[in-house]
């Protein structure tokens, strides 16, 4: 065993500021209140229901993760947020129609108390949306200052010890890294010059880091994946991470593809299509926003299958992803996958998947875990990119020069080993030769 790392205690309130009180945001808030009241179980949440093995299998130690690491208690979370619509979280949850009326009404008072602050929003970055609850300011610098004030005010008014900002807002148009993103100085000059290479999501992330607040990116937007955010967050020991919550079809992909590779089954093609009818689907109907999502969804297979290492198996496959906005389905997305694989001697096979999923039901526990584990990382002094939280993202961010890991099972091992490392427990390698005496002397 090694020395446990120093982690500040988890006492006091944690302010959770959600950018975008839509389907995911309200399902996170309502769900957390329902769990707090004992009215539902936090299914899908590793921090709430997951266990972790410690030591040798013979020791029989497998505590709940929340009893092993010092996580903030659900009762200590205080939710707030921003949205371009002025609806309180109760009204927004009703409109999102993810949860039943019975569930939403059971936490009506808590949801009604959450009224979104005015958002920083510009239509050119999310073409299919517009709303009235938006800040005005002379330039991006002024808007950033208003967000900084929002965060500080919320923290003081709710007696929060610590804060976390989580982006659950819409997918912005595809953006690429530009010179303005190089350094903190160039970025601040860009804010003052109202540079269009700075989308709203970056203004929120800037305000978060400026106030020492960790930033979680649940959408595929570029946001913190630029040099100055990496450097600044590492230097000031503020966690950043992303991007794009791993749910639905991509979750399935990162479960299945490692299995194909493990058994050396080849791949000719993977065609994925979805129908969904929520606001996210409507936003993604715009080609600019879809391109951001498409890049995120496409990146997964290559990194898992490693075509350069296995050219005979994965050197030449077709990967297509489609999202179709189809209002009748609301948040209950249907995702089809057709997978063309080949086996022994090259014989072809097919797999068909029809996943009738609920997007926000899959995303909410991911968002909750991220809030709690990010707060843990901050208390442990782990600033900058949190690669160990890749488990939760479609497009995990890693240090420059490293290939991000997409295999869900490697990601889980990494996450749990990080927790063991923080707490001074032995890392688990699954070797186990000691039980069989193969190499014993004499």
Report the interface residues with ligand NAD, using CB under 6 A: 19-25, 82-85, 96, 119-121, 126, 129, 131, 168-171, 200, 218-219, 244-245, 247-248, 278-280, 283, 359-360, 362-363
- Cβ-closest position to ligand NAD: 22
Measured from the CB atom, the residue of 219 and 224 that comes closer to ligand NAD is 219
Calpha distance 355→346 (Å, rounded): 28
Residue with tokens 């148009």: 173
Cβ of residue 384: shortest distance to ligand NAD, in angstroms? Answer: 22
Measured from the CB atom, the residue of 202 and 313 that comes closer to ligand NAD is 202
Cβ of residue 200: shortest distance to ligand NAD, in angstroms? Answer: 4
Beta-strand relationship, 13-19 and 77-83:
parallel
Measured from the CB atom, the residue of 163 and 267 that comes closer to ligand NAD is 163
Cβ of residue 10: shortest distance to ligand NAD, in angstroms? Answer: 27
Measured from the CB atom, the residue of 240 and 341 that comes closer to ligand NAD is 240
Measured from the CB atom, the residue of 91 and 183 that comes closer to ligand NAD is 91
Cβ of residue 73: shortest distance to ligand NAD, in angstroms? Answer: 25
Measured from the CB atom, the residue of 114 and 126 that comes closer to ligand NAD is 126
- Do residues 240 and 233 lie in contact, with contact meaning Cβ atoms separated by under 8 Å? yes
Measured from the CB atom, the residue of 406 and 420 that comes closer to ligand NAD is 406
Cβ of residue 199: shortest distance to ligand NAD, in angstroms? Answer: 8
Measured from the CB atom, the residue of 18 and 305 that comes closer to ligand NAD is 18
Cβ of residue 337: shortest distance to ligand NAD, in angstroms? Answer: 16
Measured from the CB atom, the residue of 118 and 416 that comes closer to ligand NAD is 118
Cβ of residue 323: shortest distance to ligand NAD, in angstroms? Answer: 10
- Do residues 368 and 32 lie in contact, with contact meaning Cβ atoms separated by under 8 Å? yes
Cβ of residue 251: shortest distance to ligand NAD, in angstroms? Answer: 9
The 3-class secondary structure across the chain, one letter per residue, is: CCCCCCCCCCCCEEEEEEECCCHHHHHHHHHHHHHHCCCCCCCCCHHHHCECCECCHHHCECCEHHHHCCCCCHHHEEEEEEECCCCCHHHHHHHHCCCCHHHHHHCHHHHHCCCCEEECCCHHHCCCCCCCCECCCCCHHHHHHHHHHHHHHHHHHCCEEEEEEEECCCCCCCCCCCHHHCCHHHHHHHHHCCCCCCCHHHHHHHHHHHCCCCEEECCCCCCCCCHHHHHHHHHCCCEEEECCECCHHHHHHHHHHHHHHHCCCEEEEEEEEEEECCHHHHHCCCHHHHHHHHHHHHHHHHHHHCCCCCHHHHCCCEEEEEEEECHHHCCCCEEEEEEEEECHHHCEEEEEEEEECCHHHHHHHHHHHHHHHHHHHHHCCCCEECHHHHHHECCCCCCCCCCCCCCHHHHHHHHHHHHHHHCCCCCCCCCCHHHCCCCCCC
Cβ of residue 348: shortest distance to ligand NAD, in angstroms? Answer: 32
Calpha distance 23→177 (Å, rounded): 29
Measured from the CB atom, the residue of 164 and 363 that comes closer to ligand NAD is 363
Cβ of residue 75: shortest distance to ligand NAD, in angstroms? Answer: 24
């Amino acid at each position: 065993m090694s020395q446990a790392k120093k982690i500040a205690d988890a006492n006091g309130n944690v302010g959770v500021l959600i950018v975008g009180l839509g389907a995911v945001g309200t399902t996170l808030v309502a769900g957390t209140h329902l769990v707090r009241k004992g009215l539902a179980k936090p299914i899908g949440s590793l921090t709430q229901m997951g266990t972790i093995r410690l030591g040798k299998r013979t020791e029989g130690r497998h505590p709940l993760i929340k009893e092993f690491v010092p996580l903030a208690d659900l009762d200590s979370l205080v939710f707030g947020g921003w949205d371009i619509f002025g609806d309180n979280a109760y009204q927004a949850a009703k409109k999102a129609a993810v949860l039943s009326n019975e569930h939403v009404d059971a936490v009506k008072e808590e949801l009604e108390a959450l009224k979104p602050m005015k958002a920083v929003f510009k239509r050119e970055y999310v073409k299919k949306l517009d709303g009235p609850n938006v800040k005005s300011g002379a330039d991006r610098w002024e808007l950033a200052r208003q967000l900084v004030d929002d965060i500080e005010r919320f923290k003081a008014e709710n007696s929060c010890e610590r804060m976390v900002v989580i982006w659950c807002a819409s997918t912005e148009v595809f953006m690429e890294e530009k010179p303005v993103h190089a350094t903190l100085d160039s970025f601040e000059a860009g804010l003052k010059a109202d540079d269009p290479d700075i989308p709203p999501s970056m203004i929120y992330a800037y305000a978060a880091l400026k106030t020492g607040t960790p930033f979680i990116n649940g959408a595929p937007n570029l946001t913190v994946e630029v040099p100055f955010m990496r450097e600044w967050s590492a230097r000031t020991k503020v966690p950043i991470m992303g991007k794009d919550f791993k749910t639905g079809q991509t979750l399935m992909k990162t479960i299945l593809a490692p299995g194909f590779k493990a058994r050396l089954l080849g791949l000719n093609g993977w065609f994925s299509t979805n129908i969904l009818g929520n606001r996210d689907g409507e936003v993604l109907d715009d080609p600019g926003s879809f391109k951001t999502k498409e890049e995120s969804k496409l990146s997964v297979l290559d990194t898992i299958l490693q075509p350069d290492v296995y050219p005979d198996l994965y050197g030449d496959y077709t990967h297509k992803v489609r999202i179709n906005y189809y209002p009748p389905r609301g948040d209950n997305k249907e995702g089809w996958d057709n997978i063309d694989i080949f086996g022994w001697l090259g014989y072809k096979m097919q797999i068909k998947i029809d996943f009738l999923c609920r997007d926000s039901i899959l995303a909410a526990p991911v968002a909750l875990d991220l809030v709690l584990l990010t707060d843990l990382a901050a208390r442990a002094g782990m600033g900058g990119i949190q690669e160990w939280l890749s488990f939760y993202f479609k497009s995990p961010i890693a240090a420059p020069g490293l290939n991000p890991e997409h295999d869900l099972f490697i990601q889980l091992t990494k996450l749990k080993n990080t927790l063991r490392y923080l707490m001074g427990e032995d890392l688990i390698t699954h070797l186990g030769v000691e039980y069989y005496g193969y190499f014993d002397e004499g």
